[in-house]
Chain A
Amino acid sequence: MRHSARLFAIVATLLGVVALTAACGSDSDTGSSGSTDGSTSPKVIQVTFSGKSVTPNGEVVQVARGQKVELDVKADAAGEIHVHSDPEQHKEYGAGTTHLSLGSFDVPGRIEVESHALEKTIVILEVK
């Protein structure tokens, strides 16, 4: 019994240390989220469709909260882009060059931008 009490004490101490370290870490980023006024220049992502392939191909793109996101789409055929934001967005584009604005995102998180027809993830927007 004393053995398991000691075990418990050690484990509890270790977890306490983690909790403390974690708690100290969490103060730092809440203050830095003041740049959400959207004054930063929009993030423009070049998207190229050709046949069954698309570039970029599943890459992660960092976006600030409130920063506008725009897609410059070059495509050989018309199609639709599906943005897994809340609410979801469906954007159509034609053959040739299309400029799509996705607006800005306020809630931090990862948002997938997919090609509907190809069932491919083009980019993952990491909003923070």
Chain B
Amino acid sequence: MILAHGIGGRQDLPIPLESAILGAVVALVVSFVVLILVTRAHGDQAPASRRSWRPAWVARLGRVVDSRGWTVALRGVGLLLFAFTVFIALFGRDTANNPLFGIVYIWLWVGIVPFSLVLGPAWRLISPVRTIHAALSALRGSSEPMFTYPRRLGLWPAALGLLLFAWLELVYPNNNFVGPVRLWFAIYLAAMIVGGQLFGARFFERCDPFEVYSSLVAKLSVWGRDEQGRLVLRTPLGNLDTLQPTPGLVAVVSTLFGTIVYDSFRDSTPWLQLKQGDFITEHNLGYTLDNVALVAFPLAVGVFYCLGTMLTGVGHIERRQLPGHLAPSLVPIIVGYIFAHYLSYFWEGGQATLRQASDPLGNGSDWFGTSDMTVNYFFAYHATLLADIKVLGVVVGHVLGVWSAHIRAMQVLPRKHLVTGQIPLLITMIGFTVGGLYLLFAS
């Protein structure tokens, strides 16, 4: 997160070594406690984890959020935010103080995670591309898609979209100029509008990187839908268990985790010294190296994960299907790490963006009354507290991940291989968590 952008660029202090070790030890212990308890579980009751509740207030809430008025109101909010962003992208000054960067890199990209975690799949409700699609379909007089979306393509386009956004944010050197950001989003809009018209609204579920990201994180919220599509409550793990294996799901998950790990890694001294070393400098390979690393990290995550899951199973399920079936267990690990990685950045950068947004054209105006607010640096001044929260986030994510893997393993692995079969996956997950903690410590 170099992201100068007038949002400073000061980054968090590394977490203390003791916290990192403590977190790693807890992750290790919890993993094996969960695993050992599996052996002691008796009876083959399939976990009733997908159970849902629908008390009266949830039923009432469901009627409100599914009402036409509410849906239209949220679309309106989304369109207003979209219009504001387009306005500053077209007419704002090309300086670091343009709120465009904060809106795109912080409010949207980082904000997707907390909003979806608390509110459920929020992006699809305000998604401007969905609203534009609905308007176009109304104009055309038909929402009938021209083609059926190919099943085998699955979430692969979204994985590509996420990688391309990560490239803009982390690798592309001119990502703090208005032009490139505007171009990226123009291409995104065009792709979404054309895709939506060709394949119908289902296209967004599969191909809009932001919607896929949001819906994935929302699987850890308490909000779900039952078979009739009614709003219900679930435990986060039960909700996560409703995530169906889809082609490309592993790619999406690996891309999210891999790019964010690269983001941490690229600021570490060993990487800087390699990249800035004589050989790389002399041959002008720095930019190439960044591009290679951006692709290599997700690939490595994906390979390790597939290896871990495919070594895992023995039974009636084909090995090739195991990564997809067990993919939900990676989601909490990723969200835990994203939380740790972005917490202070979202807090400080989010405020700084609110301040800039009030004076979008840089002419001294104050649209929202926030142009002279001071940014609260709570987390920077409480570095130890921040470090503890980060470690706790990573460890909680790991525990939920292991637990979720256990729930899935009960469903897909034969009983006699339940324990031995889970060990490779468990080792992979411990590897990811300890690696994440190491990066929080080392850079």
Residues of A within 8 A of B (CB): 1, 3-4, 6-7, 10-11, 14-15, 17-19, 21-23, 25-26, 28-30, 52-54, 57-60, 82, 84-88, 107-112, 118-121, 124, 126-128
Is B18 interfacial (CB-CB < 8 Å)?
yes
Residues B276 and A120 in contact, CB atoms below 8 Å apart = yes
What 1/0 flags go to B273-292 for Cβ under 8 Å of A? 10011100110001000000
Residues A109 and B11 in contact, CB atoms below 8 Å apart = yes
Is B380 interfacial (CB-CB < 8 Å)?
yes
For chain B, which range describes its interface: under 10, 10 to 19, 20 to 34, or 35 or more residues?
Answer: 35 or more
A25 to B34, CA, bound (A): 27
A23 to B383, CA, bound (A): 13
Residues B2 and A84 in contact, CB atoms below 8 Å apart = yes
Q: A87-B8, A110-B13 are in contact. Are A26 and B26 (CB under 8 A)?
A: no
Residues B380 and A22 in contact, CB atoms below 8 Å apart = no
Residues A57 and B272 in contact, CB atoms below 8 Å apart = yes
Q: How many A-B residue pairs have CB under 8 A?
A: 133
Residues of B within 8 A of A (CB): 2, 4, 6-14, 16, 18-19, 22-23, 26, 29-30, 33-34, 37, 40-41, 47-48, 96, 173, 267, 269, 272-273, 276-278, 281-282, 286, 377, 380-385, 388, 391-392, 395-396, 399, 403
Residues A107 and B380 in contact, CB atoms below 8 Å apart = yes
Residues B10 and A57 in contact, CB atoms below 8 Å apart = no
Q: Is the interface of A mostly helix, strand, loop or mixed?
A: mixed
Residues B384 and A29 in contact, CB atoms below 8 Å apart = yes
Residues A108 and B380 in contact, CB atoms below 8 Å apart = yes
Find the B residue at minimum CB distance from A17: B26
A17 to B22, CA, bound (A): 10
Which A residues are CB-close (under 8 A) to B47? Answer: 4
**Of A1, A7, A108, A118, which is within 8 A of B34 by CB?**
A7
Residues B281 and A53 in contact, CB atoms below 8 Å apart = yes
